[in-house]
Amino acid sequence: MAVRAPSSRIRRAVVPLALCAGLSVGVTACAADPDEGTNGVGKLSAPEIEGKARSVADAAKAVRLSGTLVSKGDTFKLNMRLKQDGATGSVVTKNSTFELLRVGDALYLKADADFWAHDDKGGDTPTKADAEAADKLDDKYVKVPQGDPSYKQLRGFTDMGLLLDGLIGLHGDMVKGDRDQIGGVRTVKVKGGADGEGGTLDVALEGSPYPLRFARGGGAGVVVLSEWNKDFPLAAPSTGETLDYGKQLPRT
């Protein structure tokens, strides 16, 4: 005995298909909403998305910043955990690697003996006296005097507000770009200029619209921003781990 579906059930199945097939916008009209389940910023204009991202970033209490920066011909690889009152992490340049720790205004630099014995341009072989002095600084936290010329530059790597202002700023007319994923989180791109020559910012479409990645214009580096508002311990190193070099660091 043949079993036939009721005509009303057939009509319910066929009518939606016919409607989608007959519409001039066909696939678009019946496709899933790309903003379904998101925080909604993908529907905003490019300047509005950038404004939302900057607003939540400015209000954040902590972030991890990692990636590569190119400035004045020098390349820096950063892996820093930052918050309003300090930071901890590492910086790698062409010829050296060092760690930075800032607690309030107290800034500490930690590196191996080779870092202290040579200048950043890979200068001459250090003298015996230089090598002996460098050995004493090996793997110790050296407190950077606030009057030392390097203090301001090194502190810049640990200043959350300064880094975010300098790294997520777009230049040129803002244009909304494609959707993407960063660390499994859906994002929408905002570009400075049609081709991103003024930088490209990926903004989270899930949860708060935090900036998750910034590609600087002109190939000047890419940084990833993660662990927003995730607190971390921050304390000055112990006396046994620290050397106070006085009013100025060694010349090298």
Could you report the per-residue pLDDT of 114-132, keeping only the tens digit for each?
777 765 455 556 555 556 5
d(CA 39, CA 141): 43
Residue where the block lists tokens 């009152």: 85
The whole-number pLDDT of residue 11 equals 43
Residue 8, pLDDT > 50, answer: no
Average pLDDT value for the chain: 82
Tokens of 153: 């530059």
Tell me the HSE value of 81 on the side-chain side, using a 13 A CA sphere. Answer: 11
Closest CA to 188 of 168, 204, 210, 175: 204
Residue 19, pLDDT > 60, answer: no
State the virtual CA torsion across 45, 182, 155, 236 in degrees, nearest 10.
130
The whole-number pLDDT of residue 168 equals 77
Compute the C-alpha angle 125/128/132, nearest 5°.
Answer: 110
Closest CA to 182 of 229, 160, 220, 215: 215
**Could you tell me what percent of the chain has a pLDDT over 70?**
76
- Report domain extents, the chain: 41-244
The whole-number pLDDT of residue 240 equals 82
The whole-number pLDDT of residue 123 equals 53
Closest CA to 188 of 166, 210, 157: 210
Is there a contact between 171 and 192 (Cβ–Cβ < 8 Å)?
A: yes
DSSP conformation letters of the chain? ------HHHHHHHHHHHHHHHHSTTHHHHHSPPTTTTS-SGGGS-HHHHHHHHHHHHHH-SEEEEEEEEEETTEEEEEEEEEETTEEEEEEE-SS-EEEEEEETTEEEEEE-HHHHHS-TT--SPPPHHHHHHHHHHTTEEEEPPTTSHHHHHHHHTT-HHHHHHHHS---SSEEEEEEEEETTEEEEEEEESTTSTT-EEEEESSSS--EEEEEPGGG-EEEEEE-TT------PPPGGGEEE-TTS----
d(CA 225, CA 65): 5
The whole-number pLDDT of residue 121 equals 52
Closest CA to 234 of 60, 61, 96: 61
Q: Which pLDDT tens digit goes with each residue over 35-64?
A: 888 999 999 999 999 999 999 999 999 999
Q: Which pLDDT tens digit goes with each residue over 177-199?
A: 999 999 999 999 999 998 899 99
d(CA 167, CA 163): 6
CATH code linked to domain 41-244: 2.50.20.20
